[in-house]
């Protein structure tokens, strides 16, 4: 029975509208009454024990995925006598098929490459998981373009976990004519090249407004693929060549990896640099960008390949025996963002053993451990109405407020890992065992979660190719949260969202996401070389370090969206080589490092005047305030000693060494 509008499901999710319905249930748009956000809710009725187990496996595996261009599962629950429910991000906007229909013709090449660059990045993320995930239903109808211009790959109803050592893997079996390769029609083995075919077919469709000739018909010599340049001569030659290779009939003739396809699509520096092609990650296209004309390609038409039928004869014999079996079962696929995909019918073998009509059917070869979703509570900011004193008495207890613990990085286990220590210097606990190291811990506002970056082989200013991860405060439930080609690091977290440095084409810039790691957008100006962002306690401003405006490292402040008054941001420091800013929780002071040696403090709005030097011995690095604003923790290797964690009062008194290990300890973060 359909859920009535206004129903409060599980005492949390208010049903707003039904988005689509299939044989096993429906997809609804809902409102999370706890967090105040829109969600998509997938319903699955109890039809068999296998369907129930399948649905649970989908939830646990999908909850572990973290990528900006994939929807995220946030909850899963069972209501006795009714069914199972999967809660995920609601993705607003139109899908690429709708954009194509509204355009009435091919979409601009620049827009298609930008959107597909994001989708390729997401698919590469799926393919390179410890258990490689094959989507198997990539097409324009399953690519949503948000109002901010971000592309999101949705509808995992046919996805499977790929095991290279096994000939078959459990997963929904279906195909979409024009977008699926021949091996997907029957019992042929699917792998990453299956998705590569669908990616190429999708690009073909978006650049021509024509669905490619069906792969099975091509394999049997009944249909001919029209060369893409014959349909749209303005397409760049390298793009045309890449698309036609991606949709080759034989898997061995296609690209072997998504990265190879990325490089072939985007050889120019502005699209891809270095060893790994980097998509144009631009989540807010301007009107000017939308009107950018496509550069004409060569006008010579490529001849059709007359030998395709001969080349594919052996391949035909593999699949022709199952053609008649698979042409009789039709199922409608629901898109998880909430629209029925009616124009691109999907056919499945008969009989299916579990639902394939909605979203997400990722089935590992072994049942994974359930990964709970991250649920954050809104922590109110402190009261900033009074100007704090920074002269605590000498007998102050070095607890600093909060929970009296400091996270830090140590190399005592070999590679850098995150550890936890009490402010009295006791009970050192190792939190991470990342195979490629872990650095830069940053607490959630409520102190229940930690962000960190990995890979991290040593202490560094930049962490190329690193991702931002999240874990519980006890080190459990490690998940990748923010992943962008090039590398993300320098994360800081507030109730406003997560800010971080993104190393795009080797140029650092400040980006922001919401607290769930979604909706990434750049807030610093292009080529500004901004780094080391840090929130104000109210989350309405941030400080950052910049090296391009004055020619030396200088700290500035901007508003939470990156804007500022006048032609330049307001300086926080002046006439100093300043870095590593940290805003005090009481709101009036910025701690920072000068000349990579000494720690100073200055009022945030004093334009650098009245700065006070706190340390006399050095070098020192990475100051971080205690939750009550009366203490600062930092790294020091003074007197040529080892790198260790220290604390001192906010006026530079009672400087106390907390760690004394032979290995390096650094990057401390005081727990709220």
Is 97-347 CATH 2.60.40.3470? no
pLDDT reported for residue 371:
32
Alpha-carbon distance 279 to 232, whole Å?
23
In degrees and rounded to multiples of 5, residue 624 shows phi and psi of: -145, 125
pLDDT digits over 84-124, tens only? 898 988 998 899 999 999 999 999 998 999 899 999 999 99
Q: Is the pLDDT of residue 370 over 70?
A: no
Closest among 433, 354, 401, 350 to 628, alpha carbons compared:
401
8 A C-beta contact, residue 178 and residue 211: yes
Q: What is the pLDDT of residue 635?
A: 98
Give the pLDDT score at 147: 86
Lowest model confidence (mean pLDDT) among 240-244, 274-278, 512-516, 568-572: 274-278
What integer pLDDT is reported at residue 61 of this predicted model? 67
Mean pLDDT of 287-294: 30
**For residue 375, what pLDDT is reported?**
38
Q: Which residue has the tokens 């805003």?
A: 583
Percent of the chain with pLDDT over 70: 75
Q: Let me know the angle formed at the C-alpha of 485 by 117 and 269, rounded to the nearest 5 degrees.
A: 65
pLDDT value of position 155: 74
Please work out, in degrees rounded to the nearest 5, the angle formed at the alpha carbon of residue 595 by the alpha carbons of 594 and 598. 50
- Model confidence at 239, pLDDT cuts 50, 70, 90, reads very high
660 versus 206: which is more confidently predicted?
Answer: 206
pLDDT for res 369: 32
- Here the tokens at position 347 are 């056919």
Least confident among 17-21, 133-137, 382-386: 382-386
**Sign for the pseudo-dihedral over CA of 251, 254, 257, 262:** negative
Structure tokens at 232: 């749209």
The residue ranking higher by pLDDT, 59 or 439, is: 439
| Domain with residues 8-89, CATH architecture | 2-Layer Sandwich (3.30)
% residues pLDDT > 90 (the chain): 51
Model confidence pLDDT, tens digit, residues 226-235:
999 999 999 9
| Residue 509 pLDDT exceeds 80 | yes
pLDDT at 50: 72
Q: 8 φ, ψ to 5°?
A: -95, 105
Q: What's the pTM value of the predicted model, to 2 decimals?
A: 0.46
Q: What pLDDT sits at residue 380? A: 38
Rounded to whole angstroms, how far apart are CA atoms 574 and 560?
22
Could you tell me if 143 and 119 are in contact, meaning their C-beta atoms sit under 8 angstroms apart? yes
In sequence order, what are the beta bridge partners of 309?
none
Of 162-166, 201-205, 292-296, 444-448, which gets the smallest average pLDDT? Answer: 292-296
Residue 520 neighbours by CB distance under 10 Å: 22
The answer to whether 359 and 54 have CB atoms below 8 angstroms apart is no
Structural tokens at position 114? 């930008």
pLDDT at residue 63 in the model: 74
Which 3 state secondary structure label does DSSP give 218?
A: helix
d(CA 55, CA 189): 23
Handedness of CA 137, 139, 141, 144 (dihedral sign): positive
What are the extents of the domains in the chain? 8-89, 97-347, 407-670
**CA 313 centroid distance within chain:** 42
Distance CA 154, CA 70 (A): 7
Q: CA 44 → CA 75, 364, 630, distances in Å?
A: 14, 19, 53
The answer on pLDDT for 352 being more than 60 is no
Burial-class residue 535 by CB neighbours within 10 Å (0-12, 13-18, 19+): buried
Q: Phi then psi for 219, rounded to 5 degrees? A: -65, -30
DSSP string for 195-212: HHHHHHHHHHHHHHSSPP
- In this prediction, residue 359 carries a pLDDT of 28
User: What is the rounded end-to-end Cα distance, in angstroms, of the chain?
Assistant: 46
Check pLDDT > 90 for residue 406. yes
Q: Taking residues 582-611, what's their average pLDDT?
A: 94
Specify the pLDDT at position 174: 59
pLDDT at residue 504, rounded to an integer: 84
Q: Residue 135: exposed, middle, or buried by beta-carbon count in 10 A (0-12, 13-18, 19+)?
A: buried
Structure confidence at residue 223 (pLDDT): 92
47 falls in which pLDDT band (50, 70, 90)? low
What's the DSSP call for residue 579? Answer: E
pLDDT of residue 162: 57
Taking the CA atoms of 520, 523, 527 and 528 in sequence, report the sign of the dihedral they define.
negative
User: Is residue 142 a contact partner of residue 335, using CB atoms and an 8 Å limit?
Assistant: yes
At 530-564, the pLDDT tens digits run 999 999 999 999 999 998 888 889 999 999 999 98
Q: Average pLDDT in the 522-529 region?
A: 85
What rounded mean pLDDT belongs to the chain? 79
pLDDT at 581: 98
Mean pLDDT, rounded, for 566-588: 92
407-670 carries CATH number 2.120.10.30: yes
Q: How confident is the model at residue 187 (pLDDT cuts 50, 70, 90)?
A: low
Q: CA–CA separation, 546 vs 533, rounded Å?
A: 10
| Tens-digit pLDDT profile for residues 144-176 | 998 878 899 987 655 556 554 443 333 444 578
* SS3 (DSSP) at 66: coil
């Amino acid at each position: 029975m359909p859920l009535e509008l206004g129903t409060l499901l599980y005492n949390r999710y208010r049903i707003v509208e039904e988005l689509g319905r299939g044989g096993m249930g429906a997809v609804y748009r809902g409102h999370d009454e706890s967090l105040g956000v829109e969600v998509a809710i997938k319903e699955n009725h109890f039809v068999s024990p296998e369907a129930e187990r399948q649905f649970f496996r989908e939830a646990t595996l999908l909850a572990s995925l973290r990528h900006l261009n994939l929807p995220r599962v946030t909850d899963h629950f069972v209501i006795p006598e009714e069914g199972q429910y999967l809660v995920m991000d609601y993705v607003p906007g139109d899908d690429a098929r709708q954009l194509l229909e509204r355009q009435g013709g091919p979409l601009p090449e620049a827009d298609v490459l930008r959107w597909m660059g994001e989708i390729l990045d997401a698919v590469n993320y799926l393919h390179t998981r410890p258990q490689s995930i094959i989507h198997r239903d990539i097409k324009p109808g399953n690519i949503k373009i948000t109002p901010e211009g971000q592309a999101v790959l949705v509808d995992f109803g046919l996805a499977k976990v790929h095991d290279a050592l096994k000939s078959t893997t459990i997963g929904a079996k279906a195909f979409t004519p024009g977008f699926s390769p021949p091996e997907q029609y029957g019992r042929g083995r699917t792998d990453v090249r299956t998705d590569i075919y669908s990616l190429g077919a999708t690009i073909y469709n978006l650049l021509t407004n024509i669905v490619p000739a069906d792969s099975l018909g091509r394999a049997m010599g009944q249909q001919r693929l029209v060369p893409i340049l014959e349909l749209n001569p303005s397409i760049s030659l390298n793009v045309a060549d890449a698309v036609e290779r991606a949709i080759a009939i034989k898997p061995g003739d296609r690209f072997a990896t998504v990265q190879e396809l990325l490089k072939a699509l985007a050889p120019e520096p502005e699209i891809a640099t270095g060893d790994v092609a980097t998509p144009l990650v631009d989540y807010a296209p301007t009107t000017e960008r939308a009107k950018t004309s496509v550069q004409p390609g060569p006008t010579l038409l490529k001849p059709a390949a007359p030998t395709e039928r001969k080349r594919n004869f052996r391949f035909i014999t593999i699949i022709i025996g199952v053609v008649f079996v698979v042409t009789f079962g039709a199922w409608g696929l629901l898109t998880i963002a909430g629209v029925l995909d009616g124009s691109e019918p999907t056919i499945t073998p008969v009989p299916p053993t579990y639902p394939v009509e909605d979203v997400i059917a990722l089935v590992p070869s072994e049942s994974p451990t359930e990964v709970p979703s991250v649920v954050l509570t809104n922590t109110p900011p402190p009261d900033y109405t009074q100007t704090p004193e920074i002269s605590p008495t000498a007998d102050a207890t070095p607890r600093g407020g909060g929970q009296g613990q400091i996270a830090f990085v140590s190399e005592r286990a070999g590679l850098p890992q995150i550890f936890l220590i009490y402010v009295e210097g006791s009970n050192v606990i190792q939190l991470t065992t990342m195979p490629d190291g872990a650095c830069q811990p940053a607490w959630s506002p409520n102190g229940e979660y930690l962000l960190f970056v990995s890979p991290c082989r040593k202490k560094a200013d930049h962490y190329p190719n690193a991702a931002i991860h999240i874990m519980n405060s006890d080190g459990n439930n490690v998940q990748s949260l923010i992943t962008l080609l090039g590398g993300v690091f320098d994360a800081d977290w507030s109730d406003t969202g997560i800010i971080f440095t993104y190393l795009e084409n080797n140029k650092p810039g400040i980006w922001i996401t919401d607290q769930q790691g979604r909706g990434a957008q750049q807030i610093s100006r292009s080529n500004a070389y901004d780094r080391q962002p840090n929130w104000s306690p109210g989350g309405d401003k941030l400080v950052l370090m910049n090296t391009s405006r004055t020619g030396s490292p200088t700290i500035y402040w901007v508003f939470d969206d990156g804007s500022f008054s006048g032609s330049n941001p307001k300086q926080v420091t002046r006439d100093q080589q300043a870095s590593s800013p940290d805003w005090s929780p009481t709101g009036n002071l910025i701690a920072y490092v000068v000349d990579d040696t000494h720690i100073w403090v200055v009022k945030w709005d004093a334009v650098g005047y009245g700065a006070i030097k706190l340390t006399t011995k050095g070098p020192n690095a990475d100051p971080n305030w205690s939750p009550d604003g009366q203490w600062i923790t930092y790294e020091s290797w003074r007197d040529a000693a080892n790198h260790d964690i220290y604390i001192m009062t906010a006026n530079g008194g009672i400087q106390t060494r907390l760690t004394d290990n032979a290995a390096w300890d650094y990057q401390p973060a005081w727990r709220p």
